[in-house]
């Protein structure tokens, strides 16, 4: 199954600000996509995740025309108490997650974004 090809994020990204305005979200997307353009294997753009929790998504091109649940056609990180996590969905690979972290730090500042070793319950 395709899901086994993708790594679930093992070190969730924690954002230490309560809200991120639309302008900053767009700057995060723009920075990520500009940087990804110069990296081999990063052909799909980062987009906002259109789900209740919000978050980020990257399309999986080989799943585009497959008849399956929409969540199986994208890699995604959803917001959960300030963390970006994949939970039981297909997560970003390490390079994508690292670039997202870098993009968040670039826009929000180093003091406002960290990697957390595990979620607190």
Average model confidence (pLDDT) for the chain? 87
Burial 14-52 (b: 16+ CB within 10 A, else e): bbeeeebeeeeeebbbebbbeebeeeeebebebeebeee
Please state the pTM of the whole predicted model: 0.85
Q: What is the pLDDT of residue 4?
A: 39
pLDDT of residue 10: 56
* pLDDT value for 87: 85
| Greater model confidence, 5 or 96 | 96
- Which residue, among 101, 85, 83, 87, has the nearest Cα to 15 in the 3D structure? 83
Residue 5 confidence (pLDDT)? 45
């Amino acid at each position: 199954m395709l899901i086994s090809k993708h790594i679930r994020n093992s070190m969730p990204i924690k954002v230490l600000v309560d809200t991120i305005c639309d302008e900053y979200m767009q700057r995060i997307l723009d920075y990520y996509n500009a940087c990804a353009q110069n990296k081999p294997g990063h052909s799909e753009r980062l987009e906002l995740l259109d789900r209740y929790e919000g978050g980020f998504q990257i399309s999986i091109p080989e799943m585009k025309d497959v008849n399956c649940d929409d969540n199986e056609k994208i890699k995604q990180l959803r917001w959960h108490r300030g963390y970006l996590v994949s939970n039981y969905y297909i997560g970003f690979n390490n390079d994508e997650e690292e670039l997202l972290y870098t993009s968040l730090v670039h826009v929000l500042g180093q003091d406002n974004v960290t990697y957390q070793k595990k979620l607190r319950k």
